C-alpha cells in the first residue's frame, strides 16, 4: 500500500477515500469524465484539507451545485 507523505505526517490512501483495490481510473481521468469535481485549493485548505480534494459528481450535485 502506498502512503502519502506530507509535512504533517503520513496518510494511508483509505483515509483519503481512495479505493486502491478496485479503481484503475486516475483522478485526472475521473475529472475529465465528469465523475469527480475538484474542490479549489483555497477552499479545501480553509476546510482543513492538506491534500487535493474532489467530490463525486453526485455529492457535488447534492451539496454544492445550486439550482433555481
| Residue ranges covered by each domain of the chain | 25-68
* H helix intervals, 1-68: 27-32, 41-46, 57-63
Compute the average pLDDT of residues 55-62: 87
- C-alpha count within 13 angstroms, C-beta hemisphere, residue 51: 17
The pTM of the full predicted model, rounded to 2 decimals, is 0.57
Query: Given a cut of 70, is residue 6 above it in pLDDT?
Result: no
pLDDT tens digit sequence for 16-57: 555 555 556 788 888 898 988 999 899 888 888 888 889 888
Amino acid at each position: 500500500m502506498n502512503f502519502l507523505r506530507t509535512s504533517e505526517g503520513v496518510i494511508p490512501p483509505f483515509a483519503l477515500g481512495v479505493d486502491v483495490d478496485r479503481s484503475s481510473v486516475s483522478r485526472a481521468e475521473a475529472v475529465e469524465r465528469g465523475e469527480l469535481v475538484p474542490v479549489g485549493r483555497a477552499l479545501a485548505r480553509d476546510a482543513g484539507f492538506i491534500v487535493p480534494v474532489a467530490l463525486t459528481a453526485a455529492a457535488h450535485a447534492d451539496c454544492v451545485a445550486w439550482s433555481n
